Chain A
Amino acid sequence: MYSDKVMDHFKNPRNVGEIENPDGIGEVGNPVCGDIMKIFLKIENNIITDAKFKTFGCGAAIASSSMATELVKGKTLEEAWEVSNKAVAEALEGLPPIKMHCSVLAEEGIHNAINDYRKKHGLELWVEKNPHAHDHSEDLCCDR
């Protein structure tokens, strides 16, 4: 069901944990839907120097968090903002269609963490160019 890459990031997730005194925190998802991601960023001179995560969710959710944190490390905030859910899914060599929302969650988690940082620094919040169903209204799991 999952690619080898997904299984690798599920079994050996990179960047699990929390950052003490993070510069940005993004929390997305909902336990009712079966997935929650919490992303922690360390930001120095507009560059993400460290990223960590904690995730409650399925294999794809854990692998997406792992991959997303890998992809944004070392990037400027502008570059990191451009890391799309598709990029996360592609880096994982694909996700099953019903699990694509996990990569969306990872993108949103990064975005929220970046905006958390911008908010703390009195900067204008960036807006989602392609707003995903932030409320999960597209998700099968939350149609109740």
Chain B
Amino acid sequence: MGEKRIVYMDHSATTYTKKEVLEAMIPYYSEHFGNPSSIYRIAGDSKKAIDTARVQVAKALGSDPDEIYFTSGGSESDNWAIKGIAFANRKKGNHIITSAIEHHAVLHTCEYLEKEGFTVTYLPVDKYGIVDPADLEKAITEKTILISVMFANNEIGTIEPIAELGAVARNHKVYFHTDAVQVIGNVQVDVKAQNIDMLSLSAHKFYGPKGIGALYIKKGVKIDNLIHGGGQERKRRAGTENIAGIVGLGKAIELATADIDGHNRRIRGLRDRLLQGILARIPGTYLNGHREKRLPGNINISFEFIEGESILLWLDDEGICASTGSACTSGSLEPSHVLLATGLPVEISHGSLRLTLGDINTEEDVDFVLEVLPKVVSRLRDMSPLYRKNGKEGGCNVQ
């Protein structure tokens, strides 16, 4: 058998590291290995590299460089923002507001804090997954110390009205954090204009390396440290810096934000052709999330009468890498909390598929998925007891 064609459509899970990024990183594993905290000259190279990366990140976010703190990734940034604010401000109040569709790095952190005596409001979303700023306004109490709403959702791609939500938070003088892990390079970020006090990002979602991320913390925000130890990151985040990772993050964010509009036009073009093709070729198929207010590469669709994991297994067999909202593959049998929060019936949530396109994808990839996916769906429907070819028999509502 020849080399099997691989079509990667899971860019929301992770991206490959771009060649230019990797090349920028390599010297910091070899000749420039000095510990930036050391006094001798070779350590100075490491220090300078970190400063450069900090400027690159700040430029992408519209912040000052000294408001950027490097972390190990999105999860650490989320944990730091939420726990750090909670513990530093608990005398002021113990109420946190977030949304029902957050990533587990936010949700599980909030659940942990509930055990520590904090109360958390999980804002609902509409059928597209959008948080209503009016709902946020109503949820704020005099005890509210933090609002954390994601910039865009990782499963259904919905982009939240972050500037409006941030404005509500600002009017009430409550700290506003956003998990922006999915948006770098896809949506223009401007922390000042968008009223953001803290923002989490992770390099491996925009063609940088894994294991490196950052937290933007607006000057003056009262926040505790999460990682205690040495005096790195201006005494805010201990641990010898992941210099190569930081350099990679800086290079990756510079590349990803150089031409967001151009990138979006290309990816959205591919995405829309794939989406329209799927909807036209496969009946009983529904788009989850918002038609326009969504990440350029995201498709999240539900297929009636079949289950998501079996779709993924067949796609994998054909060389197509995708994921499902029904968390079967990740060790849980629960359907996606995001799809359920949008009001999608449980039985349909089991049949969802997420395809996230990115820089690696081509028109040929779209053609290939359009050729394979209808066959996979029809093969599975043919063995589904819920499916009848001529007119559907009660759909998923049997029993």
Contact = CB atoms under 8 A, between A and B. Distances in A.
Given A10-B310, A31-B396, A34-B326, A54 B383 contact: yes
A17 B350 CA distance: 22
A34 B305 contact: no
B334 A11 contact: no
Interface string B326-346: 101101111100000000001
Interface string A125-144: 00000000000000111001
Contact of B307 (A7, A57, A139, A140): A57
Nearest to B382: A16
Interface in A39-60: 53-59
A55 B384 contact: yes
B102 interface: no
Given A34-B328, A62-B310, A140-B333, A55 B399 contact: no
A56 B313 contact: no
A1 B350 contact: no
Interface in B368-399: 382-387, 396-399
B203 interface: no
B385 A58 contact: no
Given A56-B386, A62-B310, A31 B328 contact: no
A38 B326 contact: no
A53 B332 CA distance: 26
A67 interface: no
A141 B334 contact: yes
A10 B333 contact: no
Contact of A31 (B317, B331, B386): B386
A34 B384 contact: no
A57 B387 CA distance: 13
Interface in B227-254: none
A33 B396 CA distance: 11
B385 A36 contact: yes
Interface residues of B, number: 30
Contact of B333 (A1, A11, A37, A139): A139
Interface string A1-23: 11000010011010011000000
Contacts of A141: 333-335
A56 B309 contact: no
Nearest to A36: B385
Contact of A55 (B326, B383, B398): B383
A34 B387 CA distance: 14
Nearest to A30: B399
Nearest to A11: B317
Given A10-B310, A32-B346, A62-B310, A56 B333 contact: no
B383 to A, nearest CB: 5
Nearest to A101: B333
A33 B332 CA distance: 12
A57 B307 CA distance: 5
Interface in A73-99: 98
B346 A54 contact: no
Given A56-B306, A58-B307, A140-B332, A32 B383 contact: no
A27 interface: yes
Interface string B300-320: 000001111110011001000
A70 interface: no
Contacts of B45: none
B333 A36 contact: no
A116 interface: no
Given A56-B305, A58-B328, A141-B333, A32 B347 contact: yes
A93 B383 CA distance: 23
Given A140-B334, A141-B334, A54 B350 contact: no
Nearest to B381: A56
Contacts of B308: 58
Nearest to A55: B383
Given A56-B305, A58-B307, A38 B317 contact: no
22 contacts: A31-B346, A31-B397, A33-B333, A34-B335, A34-B347, A35-B307, A36-B386, A37-B385, A53-B383, A55-B383, A56-B385, A58-B307, A58-B309, A58-B310, A59-B310, A61-B310, A98-B332, A98-B333, A139-B333, A140-B332, A140-B333, A141-B335
Given A57-B307, A141-B333, 7 more contacts: A13-B383, A16-B383, A34-B333, A36-B386, A55-B383, A55-B385, A56-B307
